[in-house]
Amino acid sequence: CVACEHMTMRALWLVVGVASGLQAVDRRRALKAVSPMLAWASLSSRVSAEDFASSLKPLYKAAVFAQKSRRYNPGEARAPPDFEQGLESTFVGEYRDPNHPEGSRTLKLTESKIGEFRIAEITGTDDPASAPFQVPALVFFDQITVDFTAKGGPPGLTGIWSGTGGIKWPDGNKWPKV
């Protein structure tokens, strides 16, 4: 991150100044002393971002495909452009899954986006005795694409906001919002 590199540079500039007996240190000498550390910091932050992006790449591809291949039914209203904008989106909240009536589902949006898709996460359990799960999702307008592989499900399942307070999935399942 740029701010981290800037703070690292300032701290190392101070270290170089102290190490040189508080003598005047020119910029070239200070940069030469700190450049290996800055290169490492820059590389480590890039690797983390690349790892994160690559882990969501299949989900992103599925979301793009779902967005481009969606066909609206006659009379079906298209979602307004600001449908999912902001952290108080219609999607945010608690849901009930009829396939797991004793379980829970909580959907939260993050502040991050990949392209035009807002990154979301769904947490929950299938029943009180099951282990909790967390799965990533991408939201765009009235569509949500979820990677359920962490709980043994499909990698890019796209649901549609039903307009009646829930998410409708392609298998006919509907999660009503509670």
pLDDT, block means (10 residues), the chain with 178 residues? 45 44 52 41 38 75 84 67 64 95 95 88 95 93 91 92 88 95
* Closest by CA position to 85, among listed 58, 120, 125: 120
- pLDDT, position 24: 54
What is the rounded CA–CA span in Å between residue 139 and residue 134? 16
In sign, the C-alpha dihedral spanning 155, 160, 161, 162 is negative
CA angle 107, 109, 113 (to 5 degrees): 140
* pLDDT at residue number 153: 92
Question: pTM higher than 0.75 for the full model?
Answer: no
Cα–Cα–Cα angle for 99, 104, 143, nearest 5°?
A: 75
Helix, strand or coil for residue 20? coil
Q: Which residue has the tokens 């967005």?
A: 67
H helices, E strands: number in the chain: 2, 8
